[in-house]
């Protein structure tokens, strides 16, 4: 992998990740852009104890542009975009309309391929590995920023999810705090550790799931299963079998096997609802340990946390979505229409190979 860092016309950082070491990236951003001005701020909810990012400048962000005006496609002739070069393998750049900025963190866009009509599931193993390497590199770099406590790599796919740019891409949020979802996991981890005299909850969950009926697929270094209490109609958790706190902890064997396992999962997701159905909308979310102190979580060390990816869709059946209505949105109590055991069975049935 070759990494080349440059700057866009408004001062934002852009990084090329290339498969070939001899690739030269010297194209300049020719757009007449002013410096980006953001108004992002973090507000704490005194009752719930969580945080809300207020970012009014995002109201003017790019919204469903036609394919020939996609800002994530490479620059071609006089059609200028966020990527100055005429081609790329993987690109990461600072979001022009970030939810988090400055002392409130940082937001980046990850373009998986220059092919506007592709998808992550359609990448080659080599391309998927390059994305993994880019995620890992950005996690390392962002963790050193003084305002960053947790790094979250994710992909939103599909208009039903709320995606406003059709080009295959994901995002990275670098939060200045430990997110509420992670805090809940750390509290459960601490409670289990105390109750069992030191047992690791993540290890226990993985061991139980691998011995049960909800396993979707299993490799030498990775395992994927539908969790016992799945929140979403089709939800899969992907774990490395050797517990590590973040992407940086993966060894070469796990990195090598990851593309094979992950691409297979994504291709199965597109087959859940049968042939002829539109691509399955999904969210793919990496859970990594925070880089800040864990003093508030009694007895928990950073390496007690287990890196894992959660992949889920909001589509519950053909042509129908799972909406977060009163119970989910009002009380955070999910009602799942698809039994997890049936979801796992279906994902085994639609093996793409």
Q: How far is C-alpha 144 from the chain's CA centre?
A: 20
- Yes or no: say if 7 and 13 are a contact pair by the CB < 8 Å rule: yes
Closest CA to 238 of 256, 217, 211, 257: 217
The SS3 call for residue 106 is strand
Closest CA to 158 of 312, 317, 345, 343: 312
How far is residue 121's CA from residue 265's CA, in Å, rounded to a whole number? 8
Closest CA to 170 of 60, 90, 264: 90
- Yes or no: say if 17 and 91 are a contact pair by the CB < 8 Å rule: yes
Residue located via tokens 């889920």? 312
* Angle of CA points 235, 327, 311, to nearest 5°: 15
Specify whether 144 is catalytic.
no
Q: Which residues contact 339 (CB under 8 A, 6 or more apart)?
A: none
Q: Choose, from 169, 192, 221, 287, the residue flagged as catalytic.
A: 169
Full 3-state SS string of 287-339: ECCCCCCCCCCCCCCHHHCCCEEEEEECEEECCEECCCCHHHHHHCCCCCCCC
Residue located via tokens 């049968």? 274
Residues 155, 180, 223, 248, CA torsion sign: positive
CB atoms within 10 A of CB 322: 22
The SS3 call for residue 75 is coil
- Yes or no: say if 194 and 298 are a contact pair by the CB < 8 Å rule: yes
- Yes or no: say if 170 and 127 are a contact pair by the CB < 8 Å rule: no
- Active-site amino acid positions: 169
């Amino acid at each position: 992998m070759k990494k080349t860092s440059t700057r866009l016309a408004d001062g934002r950082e852009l990084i090329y990740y290339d498969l070939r070491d001899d690739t030269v990236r010297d194209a300049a951003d020719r757009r007449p852009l002013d410096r980006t001005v953001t108004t992002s701020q973090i507000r704490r909810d005194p009752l719930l104890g969580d945080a809300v990012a207020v970012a009014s400048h995002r109201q003017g962000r790019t919204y469903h542009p036609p394919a020939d005006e996609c800002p994530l496609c490479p620059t071609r002739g006089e059609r200028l975009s966020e990527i100055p070069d005429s081609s790329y393998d993987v690109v990461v750049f600072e979001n022009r309309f970030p939810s988090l900025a400055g002392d409130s963190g940082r937001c980046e866009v990850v373009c998986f391929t220059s092919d506007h009509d592709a998808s992550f599931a359609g990448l080659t193993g080599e391309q998927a590995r390059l994305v993994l390497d880019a995620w890992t590199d950005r996690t390392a770099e962002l963790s050193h920023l003084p305002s960053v406590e947790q790094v979250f790599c994710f992909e939103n796919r599909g208009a039903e999810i709320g995606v406003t740019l059709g080009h295959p891409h994901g995002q990275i949020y670098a939060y200045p705090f430990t997110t509420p979802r992670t805090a809940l996991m750390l509290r459960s981890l601490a409670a289990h550790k105390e109750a069992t005299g030191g047992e690791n909850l993540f290890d226990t969950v993985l061991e139980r799931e691998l011995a049960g009926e909800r396993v979707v697929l299993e490799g030498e270094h990775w395992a994927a299963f539908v969790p016992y209490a799945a929140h979403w109609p089709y939800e899969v958790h992907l774990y490395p079998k050797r517990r590590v706190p973040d992407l940086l902890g993966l060894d070469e064997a796990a990195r090598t096997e990851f593309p094979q396992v992950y691409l297979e999962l994504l291709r199965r997701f597109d087959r859940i609802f049968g042939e002829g159905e539109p691509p399955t909308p999904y969210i793919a979310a990496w859970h990594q340990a925070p880089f800040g102190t864990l003093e508030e979580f009694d007895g928990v060390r950073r390496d007690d946390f287990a890196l894992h990816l959660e992949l889920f869709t909001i589509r519950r059946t053909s042509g129908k979505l799972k909406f977060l209505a009163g119970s989910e949105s009002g009380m955070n109590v999910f009602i799942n229409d698809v039994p997890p055991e049936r979801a796992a069975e279906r994902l085994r049935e639609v093996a793409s190979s």
